Structure 1
Amino acid sequence: MQKFLGDLRLAEIPVPGRRDRTMVLDRLAYGAEETADMLGDFIGTVKIGWGLPLLLDEKVLLRRVGHFRTRGIHVSNGGTLLETAISRGKAMQCLARLREARFDTIELSEGIIDIPERLKRSVAEFAHSNGLRLNVEVGKKNPGAQLSLDETVERISSSADLEPDMIIIEGRETGTGVEIYDGAGNIKWDWVERILEECDSGIVMFEAPMERQQTEMIMRLGPDVALGNVSVTSVGALETQRNGLRGDTFGYSQVMPDLRSGPASKFIYYILSTRGAMDQTRIVRTTGVNRRTVQKSLENLIRAGVVTETRDQHDLRRRIYTCSHGLREQ
């Protein structure tokens, strides 16, 4: 398919290679099918939220699922639907009906109830034996009954034993007061870094319903970060952010090298690339990253040869950090 002004698009835009990194939350609102028609290349999975399928006439549900599937988009249940079935002793019946309805992705969560290990393995075995994708969601939905960071990491580790295609970190549809988000929707970066230290980033997806959360994730973790609970109306905005085609991440994909380091190092490199030389105090103030992490990240970047350290000629105690390669040098 020929894209509008294709010669202006960045050569590294992956179509459809990056599509599996975006999961859209379908709330059964108007516009989801039209978005799939226009921007389906950038949608990996559509999740029909929580228990919404139970409200639909079967023919309507089958038509909706079929619409997404014919466009190469995976379709997942919401974890709450399966939790509801499990709580009523109908887990396997639910799984069988999802398969018959052409859902090709099963989401297993414990957002409301705790599920016995034996039953989790049964769900995983059903998915694997039927050629279905398996996503496991970690986190609780009640803001007043949240897991600790250690508990979250432990559950991520045990979820990996189920051989899922993706481990999803709970964010709900609000992006506030759960897991990696505080009550105002700000990202708790110490949680994110710990999670990524413990788990392969290739199979971790962060639910990030707010556009500002999506932008921050891209700026700190890179354009390929897997994001879920993206609203239907945010698909285009998210993809332009991934490709540096919007103000917040303009030029991002050109300046970000392949750094084998944590998210803080990548974010600091991006800031230096786009805003110019800074001392450590200004980096801390600009990024919001604590001083110790900034110092460690700068050491990593200097060692990688992408940032240089010099002394201020007017104050030899003050060190200035400059990006070796970036937009300012092009």
Structure 2
Amino acid sequence: MNYILKSIPDRTVKPRTSGFTMAMDKGLSLREVEDFIEVSGDFIDIVKFGWATSYVTKRLKEKIELYRSAGIPVYFGGTLFEAFLVRDQLDDYRRLLDTYELTFAEVSDGSITLDHEKKCEYIRMLAKQVTVLSEVGSKDAAKIIPPYKWIEQMQKELDAGAWKVIGEAREGGTVGLFRDSGEVRQGLVEEILTKIPEDRIIWEAPQKEQQVWFIKLLGANVNLGNIAPNEFISLETLRLGLRGDTFDHFLNLGV
């Protein structure tokens, strides 16, 4: 940091498994990636190429290499996995991961109907090839999954070999963990945390108010995802209590 301030919460450092921040790249140019890394590289743990944007992204290999050269892994959004799966192209998807030398993959069923045992089979299969992130929750705002089902699915997916599970919110933060207004489904989150260790969960939280809520609940080193590239510095100041929304939260921790 550029100078010393007292009572700043300790932040984990890379490579980390808590305080993890996942970026949502929805189509950055190579120049924008370079700028993103220059400004926020210390805070970027992994980058997701949102949904199936990798299908239409120009100079994809060069883009992946930019992130890789900065020590930042990337992965394709779960919707791309679903797009291959629903077209009976799972083997093609696995070859795609090897072609681009990816070490992470996301398994999800937010846009398709998939038997959960079958989803766990795919997790077990891909976990032999890459590190798997599995996403729980639906992209359909009308589909409300009860808390016990979230817990059951998260646990089974972790048991199947997922490194971490992702709580679904989409890039807008208006489904899954959140109501269509963006408000956190507080009871759902609190119930999940009674059974699933917090360091095994990445909470998709694209909106500032959502990030603030999770930081106040779980501290500076909560795992957060679907963060826009231009929001990384802002999020880091929230984590450190250096923005009005969390300004008083860490002052009396004696750190």
TM-score when normalising by structure 1: 0.70
2:14 aligns with 16
Residue 118 to residue 89, structure 1, CA distance change in 2 (3 Å): farther
| Cα distance in structure 1, aligned partners of 2:126 and 2:118 | 13
SS of residue paired to 2:138: coil
Matched-pair contact (CA < 8 Å) for 1:20–1:45: no
1:149 aligns with 147
The one of the two structures with greater contact order (alpha-carbon pairs below 8 A, sep at least 6) is: 2
SS of residue paired to 2:176: coil
Matched-pair contact (CA < 8 Å) for 1:127–1:134: yes
2:102 aligns with 103
Deviation at 1:119, TM superposition (A): 4.7
| Cα distance in structure 1, aligned partners of 2:52 and 2:121 | 21
1:76 aligns with 75
| Cα distance in structure 2, aligned partners of 1:13 and 1:183 | 32
Matched-pair contact (CA < 8 Å) for 1:139–1:152: yes
1:184 aligns with 181
Residue 20 to residue 127, structure 1, CA distance change in 2 (3 Å): farther
Alignment pair present for 1:28 and 2:21 = no
1:49 aligns with 50
User: RMSD between aligned alpha carbons?
Assistant: 2.2
TM-score when normalising by structure 2: 0.89
Structure 2 residue runs of 5 or longer lacking an equivalent are none
Residue type of the alignment partner of 2:123: A
| Cα distance in structure 1, aligned partners of 2:233 and 2:177 | 24
From 161, 164, 170, give the equivalent of 2:162: 164
Query: If you compute each CA radius of gyration, which structure gives the higher value, 1 or 2?
Result: 1
SS of residue paired to 1:46: strand
1:244 aligns with 241
- Cα deviation digits, residues 271-318 of structure 1 (max 9, x gap): xxxxxxxxxxxxxxxxxxxxxxxxxxxxxxxxxxxxxxxxxxxxxxxx
| Cα distance in structure 2, aligned partners of 1:193 and 1:117 | 23
Residue type of the alignment partner of 2:28: A
1:115 aligns with 114
SS of residue paired to 2:160: coil
Matched-pair contact (CA < 8 Å) for 2:11–2:221: no
Higher helix content, 1 or 2: 1
Q: Percent identity?
A: 29
Residue type of the alignment partner of 2:111: I
| Cα distance in structure 1, aligned partners of 2:159 and 2:150 | 15
| Cα distance in structure 1, aligned partners of 2:199 and 2:68 | 23
Deviation at 1:116, TM superposition (A): 4.2
- Cα deviation digits, residues 233-258 of structure 1 (max 9, x gap): 111111111112222222534534xx
Residue 20 to residue 108, structure 1, CA distance change in 2 (3 Å): farther
Residue type of the alignment partner of 1:237: S
Structure 1 residue runs of 5 or longer lacking an equivalent are 257-325
